[in-house]
Chains A and B, each alone.
Chain A
Amino acid sequence: MTENDELQIPRDARDDMAAQGDNKPILDTMFWIAAVAVAGAYVRAIMFTPTEARQGLAQKIYYIHLPAALNAYLAFTIVALCSVVYLWLRDPRADRLAESAAEVGVVFTTVVLTTGPIWGKPIWNTWWTWDARLTLTLFLWFIYASYLVLRGAVDDPGMRARYSAVLGILGALLIPFIHLSVYLFRTLHPMPIVLKPERPSLPNEMLTTLTLSFIAFVILCIALIRVRYRLSVAREQLAELEAR
């Protein structure tokens, strides 16, 4: 660090930050563990899991697609719960967690919406179809993308937290209605083969790979939310420093 760089942050402020122990790297151990786990799960999916008889290699994308989708739901559930908690207890940590989870959820939804068409083109012979689940996922993306835009458009932190909590709750209420409406159209998406009342109809080896991939994605999801949470804390501290 040169003399010039040091001048940008006042010494007492740097001491404050050091005292709070917030000068750890943004990407922590858990993030790297998650990255290795996801890479490992995928190596297993490609090299050590049998190829599906009819879909061939295209089916491999399933090991990203489904875990990403489930984790997007997990993230959006966190947003809804944190929104309720924030309006109830007014704890800024709940607001920050909701923000972090929403952003990670939008990223996972983007993964779902990208991997889906890549699989859909060879298997369904179309990139996109207005099927119930595709449409619902697309709207999830819209709802939480506008949630993030709303956050960016309000300057006052208290107002931002209240507004986004209101939207977080309404968004969760909207999901069943979109689901019901789009379900009245015919559906083309493969029916559930793992999360259904009867036994999963996936061969054991594939199910193991899928489970491992799912666990890896859960770790990744939590790690990313933690990273995003620390980033939000750091941003707030920076704003405070700039205000001095």
Chain B
Amino acid sequence: MPSTLATALLIARKDLAIEFRTRTAFFSAIVFALLGIVIFFFAWDSTAVAAIDLAPGVLWVIFTFSGLLGLQRSFGVETADRAMDALLVAPIPREAIYLGKALANFAFVAGIQLVTIPAVAIFYNLPMGDAIPVLAAIATLAAIGLVAVGTLFSAMAVNTRLAELLLPMLSLPFFVPIVMGASGSTARLMAGRPIAEALPWLRILGAYDVVFIVACALLFPFTLDE
């Protein structure tokens, strides 16, 4: 029997192959994110609020909302032809299903970040320069946290009557520390403050990731049919 990690990679590859061939969710998420960035800009008086003050918040709020589109689909694709049942009868550990789905979602969300972060930088005229390595670290931490919780809730929401409504409702309170941590540290970074000032936020993000990866991986088997 293949190891948990190998199985997880296989499941992630399957999900990404489906996404690559249909390209529905990714492109709609990208367009949604770009639209959001533009709309946010016009929602404030740009002569009163400097774009640089607005950008970190816009970046992470948009990232969270467009990430939800991918999460929605994560277990949504398994409802077609009851594909989930096939996954469940397969002789694989259930943690591998969670891990595989989470890996695929991470690739999805990272793909969105690769487009939205440069887009925000261009549209909001951000001084990127030296900030890129730290920003990449913030983005990775935020993506891991979002995916850890979101994957579990996606598995639950898909079996409820209010699937499309319930996923954001369940997830958004859990994304609050992520949005606050990511935009708090990005704001310090963009203002040219020393990294030490962003450190408390980064610590919270890191601790959040560890706690919720462990908790969600342990709790995931309980969300499956027995």
Write the residues of chain A forming the contact surface with B, with a CB cutoff of 8 angstroms. Answer: 87, 139, 142-143, 146, 149-150, 153-155, 158-159, 162-163, 165-167, 169-170, 173-174, 177-178, 180-182, 184
Contacts and interface: CB of A to CB of B under 8 A. Distances in A.
Contact of B152 (A139, A153, A166, A181): A166
Contacts of A166: 152, 156, 219, 222-223
Contacts of A143: 173
A159 B222 CA distance: 9
Contacts of B159: 154, 159, 163
A174 B177 CA distance: 9
Nearest to B216: A170
Interface in B177-226: 177, 180-181, 184, 200-201, 204, 207-208, 211-212, 215-216, 219, 222-223, 225-226
A139 B225 CA distance: 30
Contacts of A159: 159, 225
A177 B208 contact: yes
B79 interface: no
22 contacts: A139-B173, A139-B176, A146-B166, A146-B173, A150-B160, A150-B166, A150-B170, A153-B162, A154-B161, A159-B225, A165-B222, A166-B219, A166-B223, A169-B215, A170-B149, A173-B211, A177-B204, A178-B173, A178-B176, A181-B204, A184-B184, A184-B201
A216 B160 CA distance: 39
Given A87-B222, A149-B166, 5 more contacts: A150-B170, A166-B223, A169-B215, A177-B207, A178-B173
A98 to B, nearest CB: 14
Given A153-B162, A162-B222, A177 B177 contact: yes
B215 A180 contact: no
Contact of B169 (A87, A146, A154, A165): A146
B169 to A, nearest CB: 5
Contacts of A154: 159-161
Contact of A170 (B166, B180, B219, B226): B219
B65 interface: no
B161 A178 contact: no
Nearest to B208: A177
Given A153-B162, A184-B184, A184-B201, A178 B177 contact: yes
Contacts of B211: 173, 177
Nearest to B162: A153
Given A170-B215, A178-B177, A180-B204, A149 B169 contact: yes
A177 B211 CA distance: 10
A150 B216 CA distance: 17
Interface string B147-160: 00100100010011
Contact of B173 (A162, A165, A174): A174
B174 A170 contact: yes
B88 to A, nearest CB: 14
